[in-house]
Structure 1
Amino acid sequence: MALSSNVIGAINFIAMLLSVPVIGTGIWLATEPDNSCVQILQWPVIILGILILVVALAGFIGGFWRIPKLIYFYLVAMLVLIILLAVLVVFIYMVTVRGSGRLAPSRSYLEYRLDDYSGWLRRRVQRSYKWDRIRNCLSSTSMCAELNQTYTSALDFFDARIGPLESGCCKPPTECGYTFINPTYWISPINSAADMDCLQWNNEQTQLCYGCDSCKAGLLANLKKEWRRADIILTITLVALKCVYFVGCCAFRNAKTEDLFRKYKQGYT
């Protein structure tokens, strides 16, 4: 039993270590400017990682100090957390399976349309009371001002591979036909009614295209890219956690078998 208890404790120590990439993924998402403005995924991931850490710690203590109640708690609670992590992994994949950028005419950067993304993601940005908060957060960053410092000519800007947020929020859509002055200042054409976003554009540096659907789509494109990276880490952690849990269950079963066999021998002798 002592050897099996040590094995159970060691296995749960590994489970504790596996909570680190989950918590780290949540912290990484929280530090990204777009995710920090939206605040959807990071806290569920961080909380789930902390719960995995706490439950694994309980199993570690129960294994090394031979406390069956803690081991039983670990077996039940960790199974629930593994299921929750699996649900989260599938959910992230499903809401990010749609949506991609489109090449603009005579441009190297991509442009984005809101309708290309999943309905669940669109609902996070379409309601005005939600978008107003996100918009204020995005406009307080320096991402658009940095474009002015980096690209001084139209040719350089049109050949640039700017990110989804910069493409959607810092400039008008290409189809509007605006004339480039600098990345965040454009001259309006005589007729700019090709798209509602064309009417939303404002050269005021705190306005730009932050009210445009293209800005919302650019935000979702950025979220998709970051959430997909996070999903890969969570998937690998999920597989490792399932393996550790299975080995832990086997070790606990062996420990119980050894204990019953020892008691049987003592009773027989």
Structure 2
Amino acid sequence: MPKCSNSLIGILNVVTTLLSIPIIIVGIWLSKQSGTECERWLEKPVIAVGVFLLLVSIAGLVGACYRVTWLLWVYLLVMFLLIVILFAFTVFSFVITNKGAGKALSGKGYKEYRLGDYSNWLQKRVSGSTWKRISSCLYAGQLCSTFESKYANDTVYEFYLRDLSPLQSGCCKPSNDCSYMYKSPTNWAKLGNATLTNPDCITWSNDPKLLCYNCQSCKAGLLENLKTSWKKVSVVNVVFLVFLIIVYAVGCCAFRNNRMDNYFVKY
């Protein structure tokens, strides 16, 4: 292969260096904008990914442009580990998000979600003290307050035809199993003859601070959002993985070229 591989890997690493800068900026912006604990956990991974990508790109750039063989070797080792980790994470993401889907209801525009339909790994992510923090974030983020004001003037028939988000469906109203009478989007009357076969019916409260934030359906709604997001991330990961493999292959050629140049200079 021609020795243009050094120049090519230099160009590719310039691209990844430029990509890392907006990632870091977004992470810093998130840390400034986050108003609740729900949002606050996002910025650290984003900044870490950006800084890591920046350092690896600079190492590859310097190693290729200045023919520093040992730096290219470190760069290729880190790239190999990154490819393996990203591949494993992508496969894992597809596996754990393979289960779970909303249940369509007759005469309703929205779906309802059951926690048991999702993978055990995901279910464990929304249990115990973890869910207490998440539910407090949902309340602080005014999820159901916004929901209430948006649909406040709906009649029962109009409300039933709404295309609610998984979180709105799971956290801000009682389950369809409860057969409660609609008064407003977050105010439902418990009928004396209602069949409470679903434990969420007991958990439901008209108190704006409680509603169905502690319901299984609310956890399922969050997992549905998480599942959708992870599937999108997995598709991006596949594209990024292909890009990394190309960069790694070019880097291997540059490393071989540098070794050959050093050999001929020495002898």
Which TM-score bucket, shorter chain as reference? 0.7 to 0.9
Runs of 4+ displaced beyond 4 Å: 1-4, 17-35, 41-46
Could you tell me which amino acid in structure 2 is paired with residue 74 of structure 1? Y
Contact 2:37 2:137 in 1 (8 A): no
Could you tell me which amino acid in structure 1 is paired with residue 118 of structure 2? Y
How many matched pairs?
A: 262
How far off its partner does 1:115 sit?
0.4
Contact 1:37 1:134 in 2 (8 A): no
Distance 1:143 1:73, change over 3 A: same
Normalised TM-score (structure 2): 0.85
Tell me the equivalent position of 2:241.
Answer: 238
Alignment of 1:2-17 (within 5 A): 5-17=6-18
1:213 has 2:202 as partner:
no
Q: What secondary structure sits across from 2:109 in the alignment? A: coil
Moved more, 162-171 or 92-101: 92-101
Distance in 2 of aligned mates of 1:107 and 1:147: 17
Tell me the equivalent position of 1:252.
Answer: 255
Q: Which runs of 5+ in 1 are unaligned?
A: none
Identity %: 39
Normalised TM-score (structure 1): 0.84
Q: What secondary structure sits across from 1:180 in the alignment? A: strand
Alignment of 1:1-269 (within 5 A): 5-17=6-18, 19=20, 36=38, 39=41, 44=45, 47-127=48-128, 129-151=129-151, 152=153, 153-190=155-192, 191-260=194-263, 262-263=264-265
How far off its partner does 1:19 sit?
4.9
| Deviation sequence 1:19-54 (CA, Å, 0-9, x none) | 579879989999999993695x87556534532331
Q: What secondary structure sits across from 2:234 in the alignment? A: helix
Contact 1:109 1:167 in 2 (8 A): yes
Could you tell me which amino acid in structure 1 is paired with residue 52 of structure 2? L
RMSD value, Cα:
3.2
| Deviation sequence 1:132-167 (CA, Å, 0-9, x none) | 111111111222122222222212211111100000
Contact 1:124 1:130 in 2 (8 A): yes
| Deviation sequence 1:195-241 (CA, Å, 0-9, x none) | 11000110000100011100010110111111111221122111111
Q: What secondary structure sits across from 2:162 in the alignment? A: coil
Contact 1:121 1:220 in 2 (8 A): yes
Distance 1:98 1:3, change over 3 A: closer
Q: Which runs of 5+ in 2 are unaligned?
A: none
Q: What secondary structure sits across from 1:211 in the alignment? A: coil
Distance in 1 of aligned mates of 2:67 and 2:139: 56
Could you tell me which amino acid in structure 1 is paired with residue 135 of structure 2? R
Distance in 1 of aligned mates of 2:200 and 2:218: 9
Distance in 2 of aligned mates of 1:28 and 1:104: 40
Could you tell me which amino acid in structure 2 is paired with residue 10 of structure 1? I
